[in-house]
Structure 1
Amino acid sequence: MKLRTSAGAVALVLAAAMTLTACADDGSTAGESASPSPSSSSAAATDVPEPTKEDVAALESVQVSGKAGEEPTLKYDTPFEVSAPTSRVVDEGTGTELTEGMQVTMQHVAYDAEATKVGSTWEQGAPTSFVLGDASYGILTEPLTGQKVGARLLVANPVTGQDGTTSTSVNLVEVTDAKTVPTRAEGEAVEPAAGLPTVTLDDTGKPSIEIPEGYEAPKELVAQTLIKGDGPKVKETQTVTAQYTGWTLDGEQFDSSWDRGAPSSFSLQQVIAGWTQGLAGQTVGSQVLLVIPADLAYGAEKSADNELAGQDLVFVVDILAAQ
């Protein structure tokens, strides 16, 4: 993952505390997203263990001070530990009801097992947005579904680090907004330049691709608009919600939000350079074909640490929202 700002580093800490990939036994690294743009990890695990009575009691003992709308302080006995993801509603919301597929915006603060704060969106200066149901934030899907905007929840999760040790993260989540986003790009079709990979959409909007015989990767980024949306232009500092599929230049698919069943949200400050450069300036609602040289993806040199390093990549991205 290419982090470029301190705000991005804070977001990573908080995402690591929330994501199921952090405790999945699939070889993923704690904090990796399911999106191949920030990382090349696989989708998060779906088998989530149930909390025990001891887990529930432990979370009930956490004290939350501070009023809604402001960063709270969490206090609890240490070392704090739960055996499975555990949640508790601190305050009920009164706004829009949350359903899977909605873009949810939240403020949240994360503490470690020793009751030390490790990250806060209040301090970061910007809330986090994600699609409810996105595997990267899968630990929030069940506790937030059916809640309303304004709700505050405690979420505790055992997180396995890169060194193999497990420690519990305790988080206070406050939902500040929620809205329905389109499921696919919507707008005016654009005739692509000749010679590019050919994109075909199925009835749902999911793309497939055909690489022309003898196609050579460009030395510079190609960002070809296929559908021109009528929304605002995306800025490189924004968080976007998107459906996407990625292929290597031989036409081999390596990841797809379509296959995971939900769009993904990510900051354009935390993705590979080809995404940042290719999506900034596009309009919300657009579909964009990206052909990304290796040096703007995971690096021009091959690496045993990342199978996509040294490879030119192709993406089709539907920009559903940006904020």
Structure 2
Amino acid sequence: MKLRTSAAATALALAAALTLTACADDSGDGATPSASASSSAAPETPAPTKEDVAALESVKVEGEAGKEPKLSFKAPLEVSTATSRVIDEGDGAELAEGMKVTIDFVGYLGADGKSQGSTWAQKAPQSFVLGDASYGVLTEPLQGQKVGSRVLVAFPSQDAQGQAVTAVNLIEVTDAKKIPTRAEGEAVEPEKGLPTVTLDDSGKPSVEIPKGYEAPKDLVSQPLIKGDGAKVKEGQTITAQYTGWTLDGKSFDSSWERGTPASFPIAQGQVIDGWVKGLAGQTVGSQVLLVIPAEQAYGAEKSDDNELAGQPLVFVVDILDAQ
């Protein structure tokens, strides 16, 4: 999922700061409901070198758990690959892939040792699904840790000008919870003539486009399962399972195929307009069929840079959580 990029505002972004997901830009999991889709092959992350480990060992962490810590180190500090070090072991629930994890963190720039801001200062802890490829830099360091753990993570990244830098972050895990893997609620009879959605035993959807089906002029947002959770509000971040198809029935992106739900801010400029207008107002636990006109997807005009531009799209979205 290429929703979050180093140049875009993200769920884990700090004002005028690097993001924890910056080095996940090469995760390359295909086209997405982001405002601009792209794709690339997913490289295998190399193991840290002795020099990387030594660099992270040199970082001094001051301050107690639950408050913003101060990091100090001799600049410039550089690592060649994502490198982590456990500062404190927690005693809460153990983290596992698929769990919704909430963290506080502070970010420093390896080049000059200056703080780039923190969630403590903003009073804005951030959450994501452990295992989501968009947050791949956090999966290995946090998996198997427990709530209450503090983990130091450094990784190669880019600044706002695209220059190579090393980001140094102290992450404190403040909460973790299991979330459903599929929509749960009351089945809804869809309007006639829409694409037909079939679910396998796991809840993974497939879609059949009716013969001669014409792209609608207006957005279609059809609940298939009505969840009993709170209504999603524009500006919230949702956690969802989803698959997207073109009108010829070809799937171009699917969280089901990756095996982990994904998180998206339901906000203009962060996801395509059809997601914002089609999912805001739906309830958590719902499954929603979206048929999105091209102008509310990746634009009405075709583009050599984006094969989805100029095409209406079909999505089936299971809303698992919202915050």
* TM band (smaller chain): 0.7 to 0.9
- Structure-1 separation of matches of 2:306 and 2:116: 28
Residue in structure 1 matching 2:58, options 44, 51, 61: 61
Amino acid at match of 1:316: V
Q: Does 1:37 align with 2:40?
A: no
Summarize deviations over 1:53-109 as a string: whole Å, max 9, x none: 111110011122333223333222222111111001112212211111111111222
Contact 1:37-1:271 at 8 Å conserved across structures: yes
Q: Does 1:175 align with 2:173?
A: yes
Aligned to 1:96: 93
The alignment of Structure 1 onto Structure 2 pairs a total of residues equal to 314
Summarize deviations over 1:278-301 as a string: whole Å, max 9, x none: 111111111000111122222222
Aligned to 2:137: 139
Pairwise CA distance, 1:212: 1.1
- Over the aligned positions, Cα root-mean-square deviation in angstroms equals 2.7
Aligned to 1:283: 283
- Structure-1 separation of matches of 2:18 and 2:317: 22
- Structure-1 separation of matches of 2:19 and 2:315: 25
Contact 1:225-1:287 at 8 Å conserved across structures: yes
Q: Does 1:148 align with 2:122?
A: no
Contact 1:35-1:264 at 8 Å conserved across structures: no
- Structure-2 separation of matches of 1:154 and 1:34: 30
Contiguous gaps of at least 5 residues in structure 1: none
- Structure-2 separation of matches of 1:108 and 1:266: 20
Pairwise CA distance, 1:218: 1.4
Q: How does 1:1-323 map to 2 (within 5 A)?
A: 8=9, 11-12=12-13, 16-18=19-21, 20-22=23-25, 24=26, 36-38=32-34, 39-42=36-39, 45=42, 47-114=44-111, 115-159=113-157, 166-269=164-267, 270-323=270-323
* Structure-1-length-normalised TM-score: 0.88
Contact 2:31-2:252 at 8 Å conserved across structures: no
CA pair 277-186 structure 1, distance change in 2 beyond 3 A: same
CA pair 2-179 structure 1, distance change in 2 beyond 3 A: closer
Amino acid at match of 2:24: T
Amino acid at match of 2:190: P
Pairwise CA distance, 1:34: 6.6
- Structure-2 separation of matches of 1:308 and 1:298: 6
CA pair 43-134 structure 1, distance change in 2 beyond 3 A: farther
Summarize deviations over 1:297-321 as a string: whole Å, max 9, x none: 2222222332222221111000111
Contact 2:183-2:287 at 8 Å conserved across structures: yes
Contact 1:17-1:159 at 8 Å conserved across structures: no
Amino acid at match of 1:94: D
Summarize deviations over 1:156-211 as a string: whole Å, max 9, x none: 11126798753221111111110001111111110100111111111111111111
- Structure-2 separation of matches of 1:71 and 1:287: 39
- Structure-1 separation of matches of 2:82 and 2:10: 23
Contact 1:21-1:45 at 8 Å conserved across structures: no
Contact 2:233-2:280 at 8 Å conserved across structures: yes
- Name the SS of the counterpart of 1:275 in structure 2: helix
- Name the SS of the counterpart of 1:11 in structure 2: coil
CA pair 150-308 structure 1, distance change in 2 beyond 3 A: same
Amino acid at match of 1:11: L
Contact 1:18-1:139 at 8 Å conserved across structures: yes
Contact 2:12-2:21 at 8 Å conserved across structures: no
Pairwise CA distance, 1:7: 10
CA pair 34-21 structure 1, distance change in 2 beyond 3 A: farther
